[in-house]
Structure 1
């Protein structure tokens, strides 16, 4: 029987992966140098643009495949916190940080709960307790 919670986590994982794959690809396709310049213009270290774009692109692929879901989601969560506080907060809720807040909460959910359904990570680490970070060990 299918577990409704696992189906939900799978859907959240794949959608978050698709969103960040698209954002990361757009940063590289549009000219990462432009993103570096924009980061500089808002007072961030320009080189950080390479890290953010790479996490978005590679992390998006990893989420879709179900590899390192908790770690990738944590990194995406950090990016979303940064985006909210450096750019979106000043624009207000609807015009600014509402979308980023939703993405942040999806990432937090995946950090806390993981996602094993159709996950390559589950195949590689089957039987290990890596999918239960808060489980007590004997």
Structure 2
């Protein structure tokens, strides 16, 4: 393997770590914000029961944390993809790409989650480290 191939693979792993981290931070911040009592009013305006506030908040917060560490990344990205589809179609009604109720940021977050879901977390992740632990230590 040439130096260029090694550097290219390392760069790919750094990019995946960056993508996971960026998505993770965004969903941690959004998930924490959904614990705010005002979010329950927003839910009722959408016809969603108030009892869904905590599950929705946790569905963003927990996968965000897991993505940063690279644990259960594909599952977390799948959950985030479902959340983003809900944001695009249920919350914003997929009305326009930009402007009021624009979905451009939602589409970017969905695309990032889909990449992680398909490709995986990369080698700079706890999941990869766990795979490398010798079987005798399990």
Same fold (TM over 0.5): yes
Alpha-carbon spacing, 1:107–1:90, altered in 2? closer, same or farther (3 Å): closer
1:16 counterpart SS class: helix
TM-score normalized with structure 2 length: 0.81
Alpha-carbon spacing, 1:70–1:90, altered in 2? closer, same or farther (3 Å): closer
1:59 and 1:77 mapped to 2: Cα distance? 11
Partner of 1:68: 72
2:23 and 2:94 mapped to 1: Cα distance? 24
1:38 and 1:113 mapped to 2: Cα distance? 35
Partner of 1:110: 116
Name which one, 1 or 2, has greater alpha-carbon Rg.
2
Partner of 1:131: none
2:56 paired with 1:52: yes
Quote how far apart the aligned CAs of 1:125 are: 3.1
TM-score normalized with structure 1 length: 0.81
Quote how far apart the aligned CAs of 1:5 are: 2.5
Question: Does the aligned pair in 1 maintain the 2:13–2:124 contact within 8 Å?
Answer: no
Question: Does the aligned pair in 2 maintain the 1:38–1:46 contact within 8 Å?
Answer: no
1:1-138 equivalent positions in 2, closer than 5 A: 1-2=6-7, 3=9, 4-28=11-35, 31=36, 33-89=37-93, 91-95=95-99, 96-126=102-132
The alignment of Structure 1 onto Structure 2 pairs a total of residues equal to 124
1:13 and 1:68 mapped to 2: Cα distance? 12
Alpha-carbon spacing, 1:120–1:103, altered in 2? closer, same or farther (3 Å): same
RMSD, aligned CA: 1.7
1:49 and 1:83 mapped to 2: Cα distance? 14
Runs of 4+ in 1 over 4 A off after TM superposition: none
Q: Deviations over 1:104-126 (max 9, x none)?
A: 00000000001133211222233
